[in-house]
């Protein structure tokens, strides 16, 4: 155990005091890990759209002050009671969802939606005692999705921590702990395009480009990217996208355009925008008889999906996925190995880098739609 094990650690964290206001670098106290918890030293973190959404308080009953952040890489500093499969010094990726390994979902080969540890955006405290491990002057600062990686040290349930190859560069593979794996897995694990097949990807942000990367790895011959922003088309070529469509350029529904281009529809589609009309288009653009559409984007709470039942009767399949169907502890290490074996290219997702003191710049980049992933260096 490290010299700090069992003690409160004082460190810097970027605290959101209220919705939509710039984060403030504060000195926080981080309590030692309790039963089935680990305390991590975060070395690199990155900003995901989910952080921005909840920082703007669009997604939940607002809970502040809060420490956001959930895409990251770090090292185990100490472990709490009952933790046996991690030890200080292990290189890890914290994950916004978990794998207890005991529940029906964890024991199922088909599901990754752990009963105990699946994502909970409303909870701001730890499961074991309903308390926060962060405080400033004795007052609690709340957690976010069980990770809170915008802090030099954080405490996380052991089931939300994936132990990875220590040779993997954490400043690169940290982006695999959320969005990139979500898109990649949606294609490789759920859509499963065959070699030489066609696929449509709706939305060419980081998650959609990761879905395209999955299609490239799988050997799809036609990867059609659909986005309302033509600026994204050029960059998407690096991720294997072969053709581009902007729905604004057409006077008929985009699913009809795709059907005409592909002799009746694509073999697979992956929807990464969360827009319900894009979801309907993604389903209706797949070929009858064998087409599979996969929904990844998170819809608004009042949305409803409408399509004619005959689209299903004609042997089209509609699927949803959560975190690319990866079980965090069991499967993420193998995604990191895909990068180490040069099957998966991660560098092209990383477009910016800022020191921790300038974390608000990462929010500015994302809000202006500039780039894909911004790495935040905790030691800089």
How confident is the model over 314-345, as pLDDT tens digits?
999 999 999 999 999 999 999 999 999 999 99
The yes-or-no answer on residue 104 being catalytic is: no
Catalytic residue among 39, 106, 133, 157: 106
Annotated catalytic residue within 26, 37, 39, 50: 50
Residue 1 has pLDDT above 70, yes or no: no
Query: Which residue among 29, 103, 337, 358 is the active-site one?
Result: 103
Catalytic residue among 37, 39, 66, 70: 70
List 100, 160, 174, 374, catalytic entry: 100
Asked whether 69 and 151 are in contact (CB, 8 A), the reply is yes
Whether 91 is catalytic is no
Distance of CA 263 to the CA centre of its chain: 34
Contact status, residue 153 vs residue 9, Cβ threshold 8 Å: yes
- Residue 157 bears catalytic tag: no
Residue with the larger pLDDT of the pair 241 and 62: 241
**94 pLDDT band (50/70/90 cuts)?**
very high
- Is residue 285 annotated as part of the catalytic site, yes or no? no
The residues spanned by each domain of the chain are 9-177+346-377, 181-321
Q: Which long-range contacts (CB under 8 A, 24 or more apart) does 86-89 make?
A: 86/38, 86/158, 86/161, 86/163, 88/1, 88/2, 88/5
Known catalytic residue at 174 = no
Residue 329 annotated to the active site? no
CA torsion, points 120, 108, 290, 199, in degrees to nearest 10? 50
Residue among 39, 77, 91, 178 flagged as catalytic: 178
Active-site pick, 71, 77, 152, 284: 71
Instruction: Please determine, for residue 73, whether its predicted confidence score (pLDDT) is greater than 80.
Output: yes
* pLDDT tens digits, one per residue of 156-202: 999 999 999 999 999 999 999 999 999 999 999 999 999 999 999 99
The two structure tokens encoding residue 261? 């281009």
Determine which one of 143, 174, 373, 374 is catalytic: 373
**Cα separation of 266 and 10, whole Å?**
54
Query: 39, 66, 91, 118: which is the annotated catalytic residue?
Result: 118
Question: What CATH number does the domain located at 181-321 have?
Answer: 3.40.50.720
The CA distance from 257 to 251, in Å, is 9
Is 49 considered catalytic here? yes
Mode of pairing for the β-strands spanning 198-202 and 268-271: parallel
Point out the catalytic residue in the list 26, 37, 48, 352: 48
Mean pLDDT of 87-95: 98
Identify whether the C-beta of residue 69 lies closer than 8 Å to the C-beta of residue 149: yes
The answer to whether 241 and 253 are in contact (CB under 8 A) is: no
The predicted pLDDT at position 59 comes to 62
> The tokens of 364 are what?
């500015």
Instruction: State the catalytic residue, choosing from 26, 45, 99, 114.
Output: 114
Q: Which CATH superfamily is domain 9-177+346-377 in?
A: Medium-chain alcohol dehydrogenases, catalytic domain (3.90.180.10)
* CA dist., res. 300 & res. 123, Å (int): 20
Average pLDDT, integer, range 48-75: 91
Catalytic, 118? Answer yes
The one catalytic residue among 49, 123, 317, 345: 49
Q: What are phi and psi of 235, to 5 degrees?
A: -60, -35
**Percentage of residues in the chain having pLDDT higher than 90:** 95
| 3-class secondary-structure state, position 88 | coil
71 is catalytic: yes
pLDDT in tens, 109-121: 999 999 999 999 9
Instruction: Using alpha carbons, select from 91, 89, 53, 99 the residue that is nearest to residue 72.
Output: 91
């Amino acid at each position: 155990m490290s010299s700090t094990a069992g003690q409160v650690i004082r460190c810097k964290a970027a605290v959101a005091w209220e919705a939509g206001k710039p984060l403030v670098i504060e000195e926080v106290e981080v309590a030692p890990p309790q039963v089935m918890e680990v305390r991590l030293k975060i070395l690199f973190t990155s900003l995901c759209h989910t952080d921005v959404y909840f920082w703007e308080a669009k997604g939940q009953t607002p809970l502040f002050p809060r420490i956001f952040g959930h895409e990251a890489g770090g090292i185990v500093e100490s472990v709490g009671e009952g933790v046996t499969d991690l030890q200080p010094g292990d290189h890890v990726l914290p994950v916004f969802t978990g794998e207890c390994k005991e529940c029906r979902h964890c024991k199922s080969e088909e599901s990754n939606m752990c009963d105990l540890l699946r994502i909970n955006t409303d909870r701001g405290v730890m499961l074991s005692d309903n308390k926060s491990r962060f405080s400033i002057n004795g007052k609690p600062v709340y957690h976010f999705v069980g990770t809170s990686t915008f802090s030099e040290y954080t405490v996380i349930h052991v089931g939300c921590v994936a132990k990875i190859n220590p040779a993997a560069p954490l400043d690169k593979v940290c982006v695999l702990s959320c969005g990139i794996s979500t898109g990649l897995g949606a294609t490789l694990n759920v859509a499963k395009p065959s070699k030489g097949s066609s696929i449509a990807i709706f939305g060419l942000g980081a998650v959609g480009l990761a879905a395209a990367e999955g299609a490239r790895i799988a050997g799809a011959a036609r990867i059609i990217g659909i986005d309302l922003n033509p600026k994204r088309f050029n960059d998407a070529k690096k991720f294997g996208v072969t053709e581009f469509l902007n729905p604004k350029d057409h006077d008929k529904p985009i699913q009809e355009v795709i059907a005409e281009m592909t002799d009746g529809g694509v073999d697979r589609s992956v929807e990464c925008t969360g827009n319900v009309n894009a979801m309907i288009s993604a389903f209706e653009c797949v070929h009858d008889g064998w087409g599979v559409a996969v929904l990844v984007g998170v819809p608004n709470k009042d949305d409803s999906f409408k399509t004619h039942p005959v689209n299903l009767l004609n042997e089209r399949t509609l699927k949803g996925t959560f975190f690319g169907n990866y079980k965090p502890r069991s499967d993420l290490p193998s995604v990191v190995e895909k990068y180490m074996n040069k099957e998966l290219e991660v560098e092209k997702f990383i477009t910016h880098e800022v020191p921790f003191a300038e974390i608000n710049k990462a929010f500015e980049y994302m809000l202006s739609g500039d780039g894909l992933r911004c790495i935040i260096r905790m030691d800089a």
